[in-house]
Every structure is written in structure tokens, then in C-alpha cells.
Amino acid sequence: MKIQDTKTGKLIEFESLKEGEVGMYVCGPTVYDLGHLGHGRSAVCFDLMRRYFIYKGYKVKFVSNYTDIDDKMINRAKEEGISVEELAAKIIPEYVRDYEALGILAPDISPKATDSIAEMVEVIEKLEKKGHTYVLDDGVYFDVKTYKEYGEFSGQKLEDLKVGARVEVKEGKRNPYDFVLWKFKKEGEPAWASPWGEGRPGWHIECSAMSLRYLGEKFDIHGGGLDLVFPHHECEVAQSLCAFGQDAFAKYWMHNGFINIDNEKMSKSLGNFFTLRNVFEKYDPKVVRFMFLQTHYRNPINFSFDLLDQSKAGLIRVRDCIRNLKFEAENSAEGEDYSGIQEKLAGLKSDFENVMDNDFDTSGALGAVFDLITFANTLIQTKKLTKKSANDILSLFADFDKVLSVIFEEEKDVDDDVKALMKQREEARKSKDFAMSDKIRDELKEKGIELEDTASGTVWKRV
């Protein structure tokens, strides 16, 4: 199984630190507003990885945090006339709701930054004792000159960086790229006690402390969006290795690509972003997940509603096949499989695993799904599907969906009135009253139920 490691820039063989177990830490959102498509994509990408590790038999410990204290949180809370804590309590459940709709498994641990202040103070104290910090009038800073490898993780040439764009400007810093570990208290802001005075943590120290608390000094995978490589993850690497040693922290680093709008990175600062909730008003959340999976996690997605429409059509094709297979599994005759069916299913399962083993290639995995759909539809059309083979194909789809989480949909039964109409239509067809049959079909469609007449009987679906 190979993965692309950001740190080395290479596709390398994955080897977990502890056999059969994987520890994953993924940087979560700052919870000052509803989640957008970029948040959703990152969450789906790492959910996909987690699911595949589980599929492969690993025991996964998955940690993804909420940043619930920073300048954006403070400013938004002031705008709304509530406390920062109240803002977080309002927004976090909205993320939970949106991520559940996307089919994302809940993290094993989803810590809030403010719950690990003591651990952050401990890390800063370690850095202080080792000579990596200094104090200015507004806080405690990390001195990047004490870590000569600073910039290597992200491949940045520091002299080329635009100070003020990704690097905070502060008069008195020893180096323009030094970053704050602890911010001293300002009037009206939340604050916690520390050896340096009341204040709050800087952004970068939060994830180092939380990953340490929940996964230990060394763990397998640290992930997040590509926009976090610099400065956030560069700073995490610097402070963590300086605090705990060169062999500490994440063994592998993985990052998902951007969501672009008209070939420009989606961001709130550019005003070209869509919240998940906006999109969910028009599209099933699983259509959005399907859209994410169609592109390899490292590649950018150039978002458009046309792309969502294409994804919707693709997902309808998947769901129609599942619906027909379930119908065939209930109505097909018993009997022996036709020659070659089991070999074909084994080959498709192998195809799926081979592409997923190659750095979680979901576009290739969906290729295996559609190959299975073509195979299943051919068997149905040629009447070569037995009850057993229909169930075997459904079982393989279920295996795929343990990873993809888009194939099967929640079963929703129809109400009694709809069932009665379906029965009336079936009786009309048997008596060859096709005018009545068509009338009932149209009536059902108005109720959101579409019928498909097959050689084995009538299949219905919601529209």
C-alpha cells in the first residue's frame, strides 16, 4: 500500500508504527461560521482514507479537532454579541450535522483546542527550556533560527515569502517568520493562566499539543488541506521536533487539494466560496461526496454546478443498479451461477483494491464500481442472474461502500396510499388497461415515485 508523503514529496510504502494499528490526526475547522466546500472535501478525503484502513483490517484511532479560540472566533463572537464559548457551542453541531450528511464517520476523538490549554503550556515550557523561545510585549514567540530546517517541510524559500500575506507582521520579532506560541491577554478577550501571564494560545501550538495528548509523541499520519502546509504545518513540525526530538511527531504527512472556482482557489477572503448548507439545499449531500470522490484527493477540483449535475447523474446510475439488483435478489429463480461470474467478481474486487492501494485512487475505485454496474446490468438484461449471483454482486457493492459510502442509500418505505396505487397499477397492467396504468404512473410521479417496468417486474424509486 503506497501513499504520497508531503514531507518527502514521494510515493512511498506505508508502514504503520504499530502493526495492525494506525493513528491519524487531521486538522479540523475553525468554528466561527458554517462549513464550506473546502472543509467538506478535506473531511471526505480523510474519512475515505480512514475507511480504507479499516477495510484493510487496521484498527484506526482517528482524531480531528475544532479550533475554538483564535482571532476569527473572537471577532465573530463580538459581532454577534455572544461569548466565544457560546459561538463554538452554536457552530460545532452544525459541522457535525453537515459531516454526517456527507457520510463521514464521527472521529474517535474530536477535541476542542480550549480543552488542551494545559498541554499547550507544557509544550511551550519545553521549548523555552531548550532555548527556542523569546518574549515580546504581546506574547511568547518561537525563534525559527533555532531550527535550521525551518522551511524544508513545505519547500519554502523564506526570502521569497511575502511577509504579511502568510506571515504575521510584528515589530520586534528577531526574524520575520518567527511565530507566536502564546498571546498575552487583551481587554475583552478570553484568557487562561500561564507562566508568562494570562493569555491564549497561538494557532500552531494547538494541534501539536492535541495530537500529543491523544496520539502520543509519535503517530502515523497527520493530514489536512494543502493550504495548511505553510505556515501551519511547517510551524507544527518545527515546534514539535524541537520540543520532543527529531524522531517525534507524525511519520507521514498527507494533504488534499484545493477546491477552485473558475480556476481560482476558493476562499472566504476572495468571496468565492459556497457553504455546504447552500449546496445541500439543491443537491443530496451524497452527490457532493460522489463529486469529491471522482477526483484524486491530491488534485484540485474546479467546482461548478455542472460538475454536481454530472455527479448526480452518475450516482443515479449507481443507485438504479442497486435497486434493480435488490429486486432481482428477491424475484430471481434459484439456481447455479453461470460460468465465470465468481471469477469476474474476484477480479473486480482486486481491481478496486489495487487502485486504492495506490495512494487512495478513488477515481480508479469508481471505475471498478462502474465496471461492476455494467457487468450486473448485462446479466440482468440477458436473464443470467440467479438469486445467488444477485446477492453476491450486492455483497461486493457493500464491500466497496464500506470505503466509498455513496453506493447504498437509506431505505425509506412508501406510505400506504402509494402502496395502494402501485397495487392498482399492477392490476391494471395484468388486465391490459394501459390507459389506467399510465394514469396511475403519472399520479405516482407527481408524488415523487418513479416506476420502471422490467422483465422480472416493476421497480420503483424516489425522484
| Mean pLDDT of the 158-174 span | 67
Lowest mean pLDDT among 241-250, 305-314, 382-391, 430-439: 430-439
Q: Which of 251, 273, 363 is nearest to 29 (CA)?
A: 273
Q: DSSP code of 418?
A: H
Quick: pLDDT tens for 399-433.
999 999 999 987 665 566 666 676 677 777 777 77
14 and 100 together in one domain: yes
Number of domains in the chain: 3
Q: Please, what is the average pLDDT of the chain?
A: 91
Q: Is residue 294 part of a domain?
A: no
Distance between terminal CA atoms of the chain? 40
| 388 and 442, same domain (yes or no) | no
Distance of alpha carbon 281 from the chain centroid: 20
Q: Are residues 109 and 218 in the same domain?
A: yes
Examine the domain organization and report whether 28 and 111 are in the same domain. Answer: yes
Count of alpha carbons within 13 angstroms of residue 379, beta-carbon side: 30
Q: Is 205 among the domain residues?
A: yes
Share of the chain above pLDDT 70, in %: 90
Residues 222 and 252 in one domain: yes
Q: How far are the Cα atoms of 75, 84, 206 from residue 188, in angstroms, in the given order?
A: 11, 11, 21
Same domain, 198 and 86: yes
Is 446 within a domain? yes
Whether 370 and 445 share a structural domain: no
Domain membership of residue 289 (yes or no) is no
CATH at 321? 1.20.120.640
pTM for the complete prediction? 0.88
Regarding whether 204 and 63 lie in a shared domain, the answer is yes
Instruction: Quote the cell numbers at residue 21.
Output: 494499528
In terms of Cβ atoms closer than 10 Å to its own Cβ (0-12, 13-18, 19+), residue 81 is exposed
Q: Model confidence over 267-293: pLDDT tens digits?
A: 766 777 899 999 999 999 999 999 999
- Give the integer Cα–Cα distance in Å for 17 and 34: 36
| Per-residue pLDDT, 431 | 78
Q: How many other C-beta atoms are found inside a 10 Å radius of the C-beta of residue 410?
A: 5
- How far apart are the C-alpha atoms of 105 and 387, rounded to whole Å? 32
- Say if residue 150 is in the same domain as residue 233: yes
d(CA 377, CA 321): 7
Is residue 293 a part of any domain in this protein?
no
Is the omega angle on the peptide bond into residue 231 within 30 degrees of 0, that is, cis?
Answer: yes
Extract the C-alpha cell encoding 329.
Answer: 435478489
| pLDDT of 264 | 76
Which segments of 145-187 are extended strands (E)? 179-184
pLDDT of residue 435: 78
Parent domain of 101: 2-256
The one-letter code for the residue type at 240 is S
